[in-house]
Chains A and B, each alone.
Chain A
């Protein structure tokens, strides 16, 4: 329960900071919008890759646990 609340807080803070950043148009924002916004594609692809790798790592751990039970 405590963990979910912490995660939720983290998530909310992340969203609010990105919203503030969007208003400020800071360096990060400028960087993302340069080169015809191709860095957005890089970010999307890295997110997908991260998701797949996290899935694989979790699967790996689950199987390791099953192997140890025997």
Chain B
């Protein structure tokens, strides 16, 4: 019997996010107004991506220590789901940005040149491109053991590059994103307590959903592997 309780937890937390996230009270912020509710969706995408990439790199290290190909499959699938959540974070950010940072008196295309300077946008694009390169690199090597070893080492480099490109550099430059003064998402004094009651469950719920999707992909890959070896 498999342990299934965390799947129910994921469903429950997401239902909670979708209802409480839209209906609970929020502090009045002049620039953001109701769009601050995107904290439960847009920001959670990036949290989920970061956690999935962390699991991926841990599995890469486990592969390098044991040379068990199972860990290579784990690390590949966690990275794929992480990329999907990253793309979703980017897409939702683009929508949010169009209605908050963009100048409402000018057409959106004219605000593009100022918004494209946003360092977190560039940093996140670099980070995602490094992970796209991980997929290209993997799938271009035919030898299974060589592929697993090279991509495991590359994955560690890709993970290391995440920190300067999305955590450090955007906070050193002038940025429209919050975060220059510290770590707002985790700082207990920065987020409104009412919003924190939804934000942290939302992060856990989205992450569990990501893990669920990944475990399905892993099980499918393992089945394929079994079929090939028969």
**Chain A residues with a Cβ under 8 A of chain B:** 38, 41-42, 45-46, 49, 53, 56, 59-60, 63-64, 66-67, 70
B212 in complex: contacting residue of A45, A56, A66, CB < 8 Å: A56
Which bracket fits the contact residues of B?
A: 10 to 19
B22 touches A45 (CB 8 A): yes
B223 touches A63 (CB 8 A): yes
| Bound-state Cα–Cα, A53 to B22, Å | 20
A60 vs B212: C-alpha distance when bound (angstroms) = 9
Which of B7, B19, B213 is the one whose CB lies under 8 Å from A46? B19
Interface pairs A-B: 7 shortest CB-CB: A63-B219, A45-B18, A42-B22, A53-B11, A59-B216, A49-B18, A46-B18
Instruction: Check if A70 sits within 8 Å of B23, measured CB to CB.
Output: no
Within 8 A of A (CB), among B1-55: 2, 7, 11, 14-15, 18-19, 22-23
Contact A67 B18 (CB under 8 A): no
Cβ-neighbour of B216 out of A42, A53, A60 (below 8 A): A60
Which residue of chain A lies nearest to B11 when distances are taken between CB atoms in the complex? A53
Q: For residue B19, which residues in chain A have a CB less than 8 angstroms away from its CB?
A: 42, 46
A67-B219, A70-B223 in contact; A41/B212 too (CB < 8 A)?
no
Rounded to whole angstroms, the CA-CA distance of A27 and B53 in the bound complex is: 47
- Smallest CB separation, A60 vs chain B (Å): 6
Smallest CB separation, B229 vs chain A (Å) = 11
A-B contact pairs, 24 of them (CB 8 A): A38-B23, A42-B18, A42-B19, A42-B22, A42-B23, A45-B18, A45-B22, A46-B15, A46-B18, A49-B15, A53-B11, A56-B212, A56-B213, A56-B216, A60-B7, A60-B212, A60-B216, A63-B220, A64-B2, A66-B223, A67-B219, A67-B223, A70-B223, A70-B226
| Chain A proximity of B164: nearest CB distance (Å) | 34
Question: For residue B212, which residues in chain A have a CB less than 8 angstroms away from its CB?
Answer: 56, 60
Chain A neighbourhood of B219, CB < 8 A: 63, 67
Q: How far is the CA of A45 from the CA of B226 in the complex (A)?
A: 39
Question: Using Cβ atoms and an 8 Å threshold, which residues of chain A touch B18?
Answer: 42, 45-46, 49
Cα A60 to Cα B218 in complex, Å, equals 11
CB neighbours (8 Å) of A59 from chain B are: 216
Measured in the bound complex, the distance between the Cα atoms of B21 and A41 in whole Å is 12
Q: For residue B219, which residue of chain A has the nearest CB? A: A63
Residue of B nearest to A63 (CB): B219
- CB-CB under 8 A from B2, the residues of chain A are 64
A60 to chain B: which residues have CB within 8 Å?
Answer: 7, 212, 216
State A66–B223 Cα separation when bound (angstroms).
8
Instruction: State the CA gap A42–B18 with chains docked (Å).
Output: 7
